[in-house]
Structure 1
Amino acid sequence: MSKPYTGGRKGGTGADDVLPWVIVAVAAFCFLAFFGAWFGGTLGAAVSGAGWNPPPFSLRSMVDLVQQGPSALWPDAPVGAVVAGIVVLFLLAILLIVLLITAVRRRVAKPKALAGKRELAVLLPKEAAAKARSLRPSLPKTGKLDPDDTGNLLGNLEPNGPELRSSYEDVELHLMAPRSGKSTGIAVPRTLRARGPVILTSNKADVYTVTKAERERVGTVWTFDPQGIAHTPRTMWWDMLAEASTIEGAMRLAGHFVGAVNDDASKKDFWISAAQNTLTALLHAANRGGRQVTELLGWLADPADRTPIDLLNDAQMPALAAQLQGTIQGAVETRDGIFETARQCVSCLLDPRISAWVTPDPKVAQFSPQRHALSRDTLYLLSKDGGGSAAGVIAALADSVMRAGAVAAERQGGRLDPPMTAVLDEAANVCRISDLPDLYSHFGSRGINVVTLLQSYRQGSRVWGEAGMDALWSAATIKLLGAGLDDADFVEKVSKLVGEHDVSTVSISRSKDGRTRSTSYRQERVMPVDRIRALPKGTALLLATGIRPALIRLRPWFKEPGAERIQAAAQAESQAMTARAAQIVMEKP
């Protein structure tokens, strides 16, 4: 009976295979250590003034160095200088090794099969500049362009790649958890770098505080702050009812108020739909009759008031007047339910602090969406979440400005130049534009760069419904997925979108005839679910239309040139805001 095979050699063990490599490694280490001491000591002796007199590079020299010390090899040089030279050389060698290991680890940590420079050429500076010239006739046809004139900064390609920029016809969707770099890496830089008019929505004052002073250097800053987020005094008013000059405009305006209280725009029950129709008629009647918000609220409080019906008839709108009259003359329970739902939709206007911002006031300037679209001004739209939120008014004003931009673009030949930047931070909370997914591609073709910032995919689905959020996802030409995405189903879908790649596995088998090495391949996710969920803060997965996914590093504003000046201005604005808040508290009875 034959004996079982126990190794590559008869009677051998695993240690027999490893021992030769151990001997080679020890010999190599001794050689490198002696070479470092020999070269460092010679260099130290030369620097001390003893001249360049290297001792023989031999085994005898190594033994003398170990047994007798540096003076045996460099008798004319101070021992301290020789030792210093050796130590400095070894420290430099250690530093070099650490840098090499760090570089290798970063390269190994980068997921394979993601897009590199070649695939991302359209987002690199050279092609970005060429595309910007084709989209913006005002740019010079030759010469170097300012980077911010060529496109919107997204970040740097990981691990050490160049900066990437989206074009001015791109529309973007960014999904990031709170405190993952959403404000510092996207909202603030995009606002600071914008070349044309800016709209920024938020439920906090952080981006406003950082960017206000810089935007004042470019143009006028308009702050729409009906709930005192930044404690700014009211210096503007907006004619909200001017948007209801047509039935379509009145319906859109009513839709913004309905959307602010309806969690899913795709699901409207009878009461929501009827309330929107009633609000449409009342808003249009107020516009055609030259009435104000307070009178509109009075009509809602008293369904029997025939004033809006008479105003619609006087404006030659008999069909709309008949529809409103039918609602009023219907069953009392149904009428009261419709009007109560409508009252809930516009309940924020009951607060005089909010309604004052949409009521004519000769003491402050009137904001014009049409003028803003052709300027380099900045409009900050601030509102709180939850009950009493002015989200309906915020969404209406943001929508009005963007649609004014689209009209201005058509008059300019099809595209705004310079482009408009709309940063819709906390869009699901304070800027619920119900048909935003449908408007995305239209805005992109008009030079209106819309950036929608959400905390998760599910948050968007709650506002626009599954179909609406899918449409928004599909319409966005640039998608950034940052740290902290915890929706398992969504992250699984993203992992599938990133795709798979071939992974080789080497196996070695041994037999009495020797060793056999074979390579097999298997499909493996480029970025598994757990890796997407654990993306480090400040990084993001970039999904651009027609390009393989890439991993990028965001560039926070406080690490960019000029950050010291911006930081100082932000601190001054923060102190002023604190003082305003204290003054308001003191003035309260």
Structure 2
Amino acid sequence: MSGKMSSGPPRGADLFFWAFSLVVLANLGLFIVAWTGGTLGAGVTGHGWRPPPFTMGSYFALVSGDLDALWPGASPYAVYGGMVVVAALLVVPVVVAGRWLLDRRNQGVGLARRGDLASLAPAGIAARARELRPSLAGMKHLPPDETGNLLGDLSPNGPELRSSYEDVELDLMAPRAGKSTGIAIPRVLRARGAVLLTSNKSDVYAVTRAERESVGTVWTFDPQGIAHAPREMWWDILADCVTIEGARRLAGHFVASVNDDSSKKDFWISAAQNTLTALFLAAARGRASVTDLLGWLADPADRTPIDLLRDANMQAMAEQLQGTVRGAVETRDGIYETARQCVACLLDPDILAWVSPDPYLPQFRPDRHVLGRDTLYLLSKDGGGSAAGVIAGLADATLRAGVVAAERMGGRLDPPMTAVLDEAANVCRISDLPDLYSHLGSRGINVVTLLQSYRQGSRVWGEAGMDAMWGAATIKLLGAGLDDADFVEKISKLVGQHDVSTVSVSRSRDGSSRSVSYRQEHVLPADRIRALPKGTALLLATGVRPAVIKLRPWYKEPDAGRISALAKQEVAAITERATAKLGTGWS
């Protein structure tokens, strides 16, 4: 039909043309390499630079192996050697360029590259360390661990990236995504100063205890037998309660351990915190024991704490406590019952012993701990009956001691202190941790908070508190298994978008036309963020573009064999202690 439009040449013809062209070009390239290499090999062995004619006859002679017709008298080994040399000179640059292009593609369009992360790379982080730590001034070559905290390697092929000693970090990863092996354990092993670790498992303790014992004293606070460590220390829980601020902070930790959202306190929670504040203050000022305090809670009519507050010239606090005691019986009993529930873990004599004076055991002093290279392990179970309030109190006391020590040292601890708050939402609910984040880094206290999800943190510190912690964290690592769709979608938007080109080809009787259009797509869609492989993380650092990094698990490091052997010994010791305790319990 004369009006019918031609659809152009058939598809098979197009394929044949391109295939034939590729074969011709490949043969031509190989012939050029062989022609040049053979001439070079013959010339080097004393036959002069006498290239054969660049013709089809030479090509067929080369294919048939008739080298003597092309380079008379030359050794075949020399000819073939020259070909290999020329091929290598041409292939190596092509391979290097190909790998470079492949790396750029694997890194992802829109993500940070080497140049963007110069401040976190070895040279940049070493320069920053010299600015922050005066003790490094005379050292020409800095060991890597003296310069900053290891984050991992830029994916896919490096370089190594570290955070500085003024950074504070927030890490969100699902269970078994590498929090312990890739973050907590390496941080403890590589720490240059004092260490504070909280956890609800014994794995980090087992791997790191022996190594940390070689550089300083190891303090293990294990009131619930997570690692079945014997009680070899005690901490004065009332030491900082001589001031209203200290007493209120300790009361807040106990309240937070039973309140799912510290930003939402009803009447009973707030009143219980006020009452606990008064009782802690009375006990500390009156040199009473924790056992005495529990007795006051059991009997609201006991006037001893009111009298102690008055003796300490704390009239307003005494009147407030007396007003609570003299209030309506139903209200008073409700307040005291709520307060009793907050400190219920202290009713356990095994927990109480860790926070009561013991003349036969050394006392843990937070103010001394932060000045050396000692290690404090704070271990507690989750859920009801946990010692989370006590753990949070001791962790907070240690962090605040670090701030005071930093102020006395001119503003910053040197060497810096490392605080790894693993399972912080379960065992270390420091009520104002989001506020502390804003200045701990500037004091040389590197805080790493490990959570399973953003929502988990919101349940503890509230949306506003979690937003504050997110904003104050200068380093954020988002690992595998983040299933919160709304949060992951926000991260995808935060990473940004990039332009994607689309080629359209239209065919007509007059020929074909080609057009290019552009649209924007997310650099990392939400499904790709959720599907990050185990052992990798999305790095969000202040002032640089997002990047994907590979974590560095401790068991892949050069000294992993020695540390693994020590860890096996520690695990065996934990098992032995657990068996012995179980046997004692049954007997």
Q: Is the TM value for this pair above 0.5?
A: yes
- Counterpart amino acid of 2:509? K
Quote the offset at 1:161 in angstroms.
Answer: 2.2
Partner of 1:113: 110
2:131 and 2:519 mapped to 1: Cα distance?
Answer: 45
Amino acid at match of 2:3: K
**Letter aligned with residue 256 of structure 2:** G
Q: Using the alignment, how far apart are the partners of 2:55 and 2:477 within structure 1? A: 60
Partner of 2:48: none
Q: Report how far residue 104 of structure 1 moved.
A: 6.3
Residues 500-548 of structure 1: per-residue CA shift (max 9 Å, x gap): 1111122222333333222221111100000000001111111111211
With 484-493 and 56-65 compared, the bigger mean Cα shift is at 56-65
Give per-residue Cα distances to partners, 1:264-314, cap 9 Å, x unaligned. 000000000000000000011111111111111111111111111111111
Question: C-alpha distance in 2, partners of 1:258/1:95?
Answer: 66
Q: How many Å separate the matches in 2 of 1:2 and 1:118?
A: 62
What is the alpha-carbon distance in structure 2 between the residues aligned to residue 587 and residue 99 of structure 1? 66
Confirm or deny that 1:340 pairs with 2:337.
yes
1:107 and 1:159 in contact (8 A); partners too: no
Q: Does 1:413 align with 2:426?
A: no
Change (3 A) 1:577 1:95: farther
- In the other structure, the counterpart of 2:382 is 385
Give 2:5's aligned residue. Answer: 5
Amino acid at match of 1:378: T
Gaps in structure 1 of 5+ consecutive residues: 40-54, 69-89
Distance 2:421 2:53 in 1: 72
Closer/same/farther in 2, CA of residues 331 and 375 from structure 1, 3 Å limit: same
- Aligned twin of 2:268: 271
Corresponding letter in the other structure for 1:7: S
Aligned to 2:40: none
Question: For the Cα contact (< 8 Å) 2:503–2:515, is it kept in 1?
Answer: yes
Residue 436 of structure 1: which of 433, 436, 448 is its match?
433
Instruction: Please state if 1:226 is matched with 2:194.
Output: no
Deviates most, 572-581 or 14-23: 14-23
Paired residues of 1:7 and 1:14 also in contact (CA < 8 A): no
Which aligned pairs between 1:127-206 and structure 2 lie closer than 5 A?
127-141=124-138, 143-206=140-203
Alpha-carbon distance, 1:256 to partner = 0.3
Matched residues in 1 for 2:437 and 2:294: separation? 33
SS for the counterpart of 1:503 is: strand
- Residue 272 of structure 1 aligns with an amino acid whose one-letter code is I
**Structure 2 SS opposite 1:243:** coil
Instruction: Please say if residues 6 and 509 of structure 2, whose CA atoms lie closer than 8 Å, have aligned partners that are also in contact.
Output: no
Which letter maps to 1:526?
V
- Deviation, structure 1 residue 564: 0.8
The amino acid that maps onto 1:3 is G
The Cα offsets for residues 145-199 of structure 1, whole Å up to 9 and x where unpaired, read as 1111111111111111211111111111000111111111100111111111000
Match of 2:356 among 354, 359, 362: 359
Residue 361 (structure 1) shift: 0.4
8 Å Cα contact 1:395/1:430 also seen in 2: yes
Matches within 5 A, 1:468-479: 468-479=465-476
Q: 1:585 maps to which residue?
A: 582
1:124 pairs with 2:88: no
Choose from 506, 514, 521 the match for 2:511. Answer: 514
Task: Report the 3-state secondary structure (helix = DSSP H, G, I; strand = E; otherwise coil) of the residue aligned with 1:138.
Answer: helix
Q: Distance in 2 between matches of 1:493 and 1:299?
A: 49
Cα distance in 2 for residues equivalent to 1:102 and 1:575: 46
Distance change (3 Å), C-alpha of 1:482 and 1:309: same
Deviates more, 1:201-210 or 1:519-528: 519-528
The offset of 1:567, in angstroms, is 0.6
TM-score by length of 1: 0.89
State which of 307, 311, 316 in structure 1 corresponds to 2:308.
Answer: 311
Q: Percent identity?
A: 70
Q: Which moved more, 1:498-507 or 1:392-401?
A: 498-507
Amino acid at match of 2:349: P
**Offset of residue 121 of structure 1:** 1.4
Q: Which amino acid aligns with 2:323?
A: G
Cα distance in structure 2, aligned partners of 1:556 and 1:133: 27
Match of 1:571 among 568, 573, 577: 568
Q: Counterpart in 1 of 2:207?
A: 210
| Partner of residue 257, structure 1 | 254
Measured after TM superposition, the shift of residue 236 of structure 1 is 0.3
Tell whether the 8 Å contact from 1:204 to 1:229 is kept in structure 2 after alignment.
Answer: yes
Letter in 2 for 1:6: S
Q: Which residue of 1 aligns with 2:452?
A: 455
Go from structure 1 to structure 2 and tell me whether the alpha carbon gap of 1:37 and 1:177 turns closer, same or farther (over 3 Å shift): farther
Number of corresponding residues: 578
CA distance in 1, matches of 2:415, 2:467: 30
How far the C-alpha of 1:499 sits from its partner, in A, is 0.6
Q: Paired residue for 2:281, among 280, 284, 288?
A: 284
Deviation of residue 586 (structure 1)? Answer: 1.4
Shift of 1:375: 0.9
Q: Distance in 1 between matches of 2:405 and 2:525?
A: 45
Which residue number corresponds to residue 72 of structure 1?
Answer: none
TM-aligned CA distance change 1:94 to 1:116, over 3 Å: closer
Q: Secondary structure of 2:436's partner? A: helix
RMSD: 3.6
Shift of 1:64: 10
| Partner amino acid, structure 2, of 1:243 | D
Q: For 2:15, which of 13, 18, 28 is the aligned residue?
A: 18
Gaps of 5+ in 2: 37-51, 66-86
1:501 aligns with 2:498: yes
Range 99-108 or range 425-434, more displaced: 99-108
Distance (Å, rounded) in 2 between the aligned partners of 1:28 and 1:231: 72
Q: Deviations over 1:193-250 (max 9, x none)?
A: 1111000000000001111111111111100000000011000000001121101100
- 2:422 maps to amino acid: D
> After superposition, where does 1:535-546 map in structure 2 within 5 Å?
535-546=532-543
- 1:6-43 CA-partner distances (Å, limit 9, x unpaired): 234xxx3222222111223344567789999999xxxx
How far 1:108 moved relative to its partner?
2.9
**What letter matches 1:577 in structure 2?**
I
- Give 1:62 deviation, angstroms: 9.6
- CA shift, 1:103, in A, is 7.5
Secondary structure (helix, strand or coil) at the match of 1:573 reads helix
Distance in 1 (CA, whole Å) between partners of 2:341 and 2:474 is: 36
- 2:121–2:161: 8 Å Cα contact kept in structure 1? yes
1:572, 1:34 → 2: CA distance? 64
